Amino acid sequence: MTNSAVYFALAFVVFTAVLGGTIAHRLHRPLIIGYVLGGILIGFLLPRFPIIDLHTLELFARIEVTLLMIWPGVEFSFLALLEIKWIAILGGLLGTLLSIALGLLAGRLVGWNAA
């Protein structure tokens, strides 16, 4: 793949992320929903752009996921967490217990044993 094709693929990914983020922001929705919409747009338009190599887009997607996992740590504020500590503790605990319960229930419905 030539350098210009890589740059085009990168610009295409960034453009769809910005477009999806802008749409989500205007609809007062979380930006991650806009990024998912951008990914869906890439998947829909990919066959129309044969210059873009699928492997390159997968590489960009992996980089994006890595950045999305790192970004909350960059914006983390310990003081802000202390302000909502009980919400965070109870929400985390209840979310974990609810996920376990739903997983056990789903497993039981398909005939799996909990042991």
More confident position, 51 or 63: 63
Model pLDDT, residue 72: 67
More confident position, 3 or 24: 24
CA dist list (Å): 107 to 7, 36, 39, 111: 46, 29, 31, 6
Residues in Cβ contact with 64 at an 8 Å cutoff, skipping those fewer than 6 apart: 13, 17, 35
**pLDDT tens readout for residues 67-114:** 777 766 666 777 877 888 888 889 989 999 999 999 999 999 998 887
pTM beyond cutoff 0.85: no
- What's the longest Cα–Cα distance across the chain? 55
**pLDDT tens readout for residues 16-62:** 888 888 888 899 988 888 888 887 877 777 666 665 667 776 777 77
- Written as one string, the DSSP assignment of 37-62 is HHHHHHHHHGGG-TTS-HHHHHHHHH
